[in-house]
Amino acid sequence: MFRSLVIPLVFVACFSNAYATLKPVSLFSDHMVLQKGVAVPVWGTADEGALVTVQYQGQSVSAKTVQGKWMLSLQPMPYVSKGTEMKIFSGTDTVRIQDVLVGEVWLCSGQSNMERQLGPRPPQQPIYNWEQERDAANYPLIREYYVPLKYSKETIADVNNHWTVCSPQTVSDFTAVGYFFARNLYAKLQVPVGIIFSAFGGTPAEDWTSLAALERNPKLKDMIQNYTKTMSGPGWKPQGQCISGLYNGMIAPLLPYAIKGVAWYQGESNNSRATEYQEVLPTLIANWREDFKRPEMPFLIVQIAPHKDMSPEIREAQFLVVKKVKKTALIVTTDCGDSADIHPTHKQPVGERLAIAAAGLAYGVKGEYSGPMFQYASPGKDQITVTFSHTGKGLLAKGGKLTGFEISNGEGFYPAEGVIRGNKITLSSVHVPHPAKVRYGWSNVPVVNLYNQEGLPASPFRN
C-alpha cells in the first residue's frame, strides 16, 4: 500500500492530542471502491478545529474538525474503472489514497456460511472446485475489505484493515459466497464491485443489531432479558459475546459508508427461535437501513440450506420476512445443501442467485430474479390450488413429477400429486378429501423440485 503522510516538523507536535495526525478511517485506503450515484461520506480524525479537504475526480470538499473528528460528503459520481488518486489534506498534513474506483459496493454479512473463505480451512471441507476457482480469479475491478472479528460492548469508530484487489494470489481469503456474488455481478454490470466482508460464525442476528433498535421493538423485550440473564448466569463462561456486540464491533465502524445493499447469510444460530426471528430480522434490516442512511437499501437474504438440524420453521421465518419487508429478496438454496454438513461446499449457485436478485431488485434489470413464492391456496372439493408469484416464464418440475407437496384436511398430512397450470398448481390425494392445508418442503432436509423456467427454486412454505 502506498500512502504519503507529511507531518510538520515541529517539536510541539509530540504533545498534541490523540487526533493530532490527519487520518481517514481505514475504509478509505488504497484500492477502495466508492459507491456510484449517491453522496459519498468521507470521515476521519485530525487536530481540533482543523480544516480538512478531500479532493477526488475534480471535486474539492472541506469540513472543520469537531472534537477531533471530521466528516464531509462528495457529490454523486459516475463509474470510475481506472484507478485514480484521492487526496486528503489539512495544513501541511497530506494523505494520498491510490487506485480508487467508483462502482457498486455491497456489504456481505452473516455467520459461518458467509464467513467461509474460498481457500481451504481444515477441518472443513474445501469449497467445491476451489483450486480452479482460485486460478481463474483474475478480476482487478473486484475488491474486498475484510472486517476483523470483533465483539464489543461499546461502538468502535474504526478497525485496522485495508482493501484487497482480487487475484489468484489473494482470492483464497475472500468470502466465497461474496466472491461468487461479486464475480457474477461484475459479469452482468461490467463495473467495479467492492464487497465489505463482515461475518462471524456461530452468531445470532440480535448480536448484529444495535441495542437501541432492539429495545424499540416491544416484542423483543423478553428476548433481551433472557439473553442478558443467560450471559450473566453462573454457568456461563464469557468469551466476549454480548447482545449487539457485533453491531458495535463490526458494523458501527463502517457507518455511514456509502453502499448499494446487503447480502445476508445467517439464521443457523436462530434456528431454535424461528418465530422470534420473524421480529429480529426485520428489526436488523430497519436498523441498518437507518444507520447507513439508505431507507430502501436492498437486502438479499440467503435461505438456510437443507441440513439435519435446520428446521423448516427457520426457512419459513426468512420467507415471511421477505413477504413483509419491502426491497428484500429471498435466495433459495434447497438444492445446495448437505444433510450432514451445515457448511455446504457448493457456494457458486448461492453467489450466482445473489447476483440475479441484485440485478433485478437493485438495478432494475428485466427478467425474473426470484424463485416461485407462495401467494395463496384455494381449497376445492377434492383438491387444493396453490397460486405463486415470481413464476417467470412458467413453473416446472425438474426431473419429472412434482415432489415435496403435502396436503391435509386436519387429519394429518399426506403426499400430494400436482398438476401445473400457468402460475398455479392443483394438488390432490386419494387420502385427503376436502383438503384445506398445504405445505411444501416441510422437513429439515426437504426433497423438492419446483422451479421456474429461469432455473430458480421455489421456497418451502405452508399455509
Per the structure block, which three cell numbers stand in for 339? 444433510
Position 296, amino acid: E
Q: Which of 419, 417, 452, 422 is nearest to 332 (CA)?
A: 452
Average pLDDT for 365-387: 97
Task: Report d(CA 454, CA 456) in Å as an integer.
Answer: 6
Q: Are residues 458 and 388 in contact, defined by beta-carbon separation less than 8 angstroms?
A: yes
> What are the residue ranges spanned by the domains of the chain?
11-100, 103-361, 373-462
Q: What is the pLDDT of residue 88?
A: 99
Mean model confidence pLDDT for the chain? 94
* pLDDT class of 14 with cuts at 50, 70, 90: very low
Q: What is the pLDDT of residue 7?
A: 29
* pLDDT class of 10 with cuts at 50, 70, 90: very low
Q: What is the pLDDT of residue 231?
A: 73
H or E element that contains 407: strand 405-408
Q: What is the pLDDT of residue 1?
A: 31
* pLDDT (tens digit per residue) in 413-447: 999 999 999 999 999 999 999 999 999 999 999 99
* pLDDT class of 238 with cuts at 50, 70, 90: low
Q: Domain 103-361, what fold?
A: Rossmann fold (3.40.50)
The three-class DSSP label of residue 134 is: helix
Per the structure block, which three cell numbers stand in for 284? 436488523
Backbone angles phi, psi at 128, to 5 degrees: -55, 130
Average pLDDT for 255-276: 98
CATH 3.20.20.370 fits 11-100, yes or no: no
Q: Are residues 423 and 393 in contact, defined by beta-carbon separation less than 8 angstroms?
A: no
Task: Report d(CA 175, CA 111) in Å as an integer.
Answer: 11
Task: Report d(CA 287, CA 216) in Å as an integer.
Answer: 10
Task: Report d(CA 65, CA 70) in Å as an integer.
Answer: 5
Task: Report d(CA 198, CA 161) in Å as an integer.
Answer: 12
* pLDDT (tens digit per residue) in 74-128: 999 999 999 999 999 999 999 999 999 999 999 999 999 999 999 998 888 899 9
Backbone angles phi, psi at 246, to 5 degrees: -85, -30
Report the percentage of the chain scoring pLDDT > 70: 94
Q: What is the pLDDT of residue 20?
A: 58
First to last CA, the chain: 55
* 4 pLDDT above the threshold of 70: no
The three-class DSSP label of residue 341 is: coil
* pLDDT class of 340 with cuts at 50, 70, 90: confident
Q: What is the pLDDT of residue 457?
A: 99
* 47 pLDDT above the threshold of 60: yes
Position 227, amino acid: Y
pTM of the model: 0.94
* pLDDT (tens digit per residue) in 136-190: 999 999 999 999 999 999 999 999 999 999 999 999 999 999 999 999 999 999 9
Using CA atoms, how far residue 33 sits from 51, 173, 384, in Å, is 25, 18, 51
